[in-house]
Amino acid sequence: MSALHVAVLNAFKSKGWAYREIPGMEVVEASFEAYHTRVPLHVQSFGEMQILAVVANASVKVPDTHRVRTAELCMRVNKELNIGAFEMDWDTNQVMFRQANVFPKHRHDEELITNLVHNAVVEMDRMTPYLGELCRTTKAMLPLLDLQQLLKREELLPPGDPVEEGEEEAKPADA
């Protein structure tokens, strides 16, 4: 087990987050209850390269008919992001938020690891209502959906930032 993966396990344990390890891999999976949805999370350590990848998956299922507009929505959201990016698996229509960090050798900051997890959960939670609105749009009305206007709908965002307001962050669901 790499030192980076040990740091990931320690970070999860220190936060009290429920998780499960994937046998034979340096992977931790967890699920967090956020404001809008439950966010499944996959954290993979690449110890030799000192890279940590954090992937949050959307709980919303994208119909085949909505694939192109979903890809456009991801692209429009990515334009405003500083860290990480939304992606869509074209074959399964699974929307995910992916970010990674390269750590200096022997310097695996557990706080940075927890911040990467928190950011992935928050970003997916923010995207979920927009994705839901898009997926609820009928196939006939889909070409008329203005994604730029949709993304301006602030009432779809979670209220405030729990970290800034001193509230508890997203709660881990049972793994």
Q: What integer pLDDT is reported at residue 157 of this predicted model?
A: 81
- Whether 163 is covered by a domain: the verdict is no
Q: What is the pLDDT of residues 144-164, one digit of tens each?
A: 999 999 999 988 887 765 433
Q: What secondary structure letter does DSSP report for 144?
A: G
d(CA 66, CA 74) in angstroms, rounded, equals 12
Give yes or no for residue 47 having a pLDDT over 90: no
Show the domain range for 39. Answer: 3-156
CATH code for the domain of 114: 3.30.1460.10
- Whether 57 is covered by a domain: the verdict is yes
Whole-Å CA distances, 68 to 123, 144, 151:
21, 13, 17
Structure tokens at 162: 């729990």
Provide mean pLDDT across the span 33-37.
90
Provide mean pLDDT across the span 53-63.
95
- Number of domains the chain is built from: 1
Q: What is the pLDDT of residues 61-100, one digit of tens each?
A: 999 999 999 999 999 999 999 999 999 999 999 999 999 9
**Among 52, 58, 8, 13, which residue's Cα sits nearest to residue 31?**
58
pTM of the full structure: 0.86
d(CA 119, CA 30) in angstroms, rounded, equals 14
Element (H, E) at 29: strand 27-33
Provide mean pLDDT across the span 5-12.
95
Provide mean pLDDT across the span 3-20.
94
